Amino acid sequence: MTATTDHTTLDSSLAAPTDGLVSPAAPVTSPGFDGPSPRPSDDDPAFALHRGGKIGIGLTAPLNNREDLSLAYTPGVARVCTAIAETPALADEYTWRSNTVIVVTDGTAVLGLGDIGPAAALPVMEGKAALFKHFGGVDAVPICLDCTDVEEIVDTVARLAPGFGGVNLEDISAPRCFAIESMLQDRVDIPVFHDDQHGTAIVALAALENAARLTGRTLGDLRAVVSGAGAAGVAVTRILLAAGIGDIAVGDSRGMIYPGRDGLTTVKAALAAETNKAGLHGSINEALAGADVYLGLSAGKVPEEAVATMAPEAIVFAMANPDPEIDPEIAHKYARIVATGRSDYPNQINNVLAFPGVFRGALDVRASRVTEGMKLAAARALADVIADELADDNIIPSVFDERVAPAVSTAVAAAARADGVARR
């Protein structure tokens, strides 16, 4: 099937969801609530919970007397410093580094709020750090940078890197996020992981593996349409290609991406060369005719008549938050399996299912990077957690399933060893 003319299906820029809340970048005037911006009040439970922040620093060594102080600080600390100076790798054993990551943002693509700046992004980064600790036992430090230049961000984080075991990039707008991650990983020997890309991709792949299994198919049997060519859309597409999807085509605000289309960025041109075997030109609405899978990672809307043209036993992942690209009630009329980014519907595609376990596994083996093999292993382990419990409304584990992080971290650690990036 070749679509032809309509390039107006999506009505705003397509950008990265974050933190499993799977939200597209949007103006600050559209943050998922109606009316004027909220005013601080402790009568509002959200403000009351955030007063003073959500995280802090705790001690792992006693400081009760002079002897404790002499060991934790001077003169005892000097012996440890000297040993590390002689053998730098000892920092992983005798400091917090082996269990601590930095969560870095420039505030340009925060949840559904868009470019709100680094200070306004801090509550989200604190939340991310809290999720790291609660679900993965990983200590995380929020770093909100007052710059948006790619090279400045890379230089700044690279200079901070000696004190940490990993870097989690967060809420950085596309396409800059692609260059930042790649350039930074070339500069440092610790994992650099842009969660808006890879966390989303890991969870989406796990859910789609289970959805295919539940409907008696494999990934290779499926033709998928991706709405959104921002950070998450690109990463989801790439991991599905690596996992063996039958065919996958990507659309942005101008319609389907294909070789030779005007206005393609470098990233989109690379996607065009690897996707869209059917040669679809035109709107996402038209591309859905006969498609097995819809993956929404955008701010666009899909009309009911387009959903109705999908193949039997269709799978719809409408992951924009707070408003999915396809209303779940409408999706259920035509699709067998429906997932969203929201916690008030079944099958929530939530990044917290991935990143704590990914970093836990990477840190445990002191990995130098997160490889494609580690991401695929994470997705398969996540899918397998509920392999014996699959149902149309249960294709992905709950974020509170205590089996998730251990399963993901074990698989990631094993893959790191297999890929030769583990250092213990």
Contacts of 348 by beta carbon, 8 Å cutoff, 6+ apart: 20, 339, 340, 341, 342, 396, 399
- From the list 94, 128, 268, 277, the catalytic residue is 128
CA distance 288 to 283: 9
- From the list 54, 73, 258, 268, the catalytic residue is 73
Give the containing element (helix H, strand E) for 50: helix 45-50
CA distance 165 to 86: 19
245 by DSSP, 3-state: which? coil
CA 124 to chain centre: 14
- CB neighbour burial string for 97-114, b if at least 16 within 10 angstroms, e if fewer: bbbbbbbbbbbbbbbbbb
Residue type, 33: F
Nearest to 363, CA basis, from 166, 202, 173, 123: 166
Active site residue 94: no
CA distance 274 to 139: 38
Active site residue 73: yes
Which positions are annotated as active-site residues?
73, 128
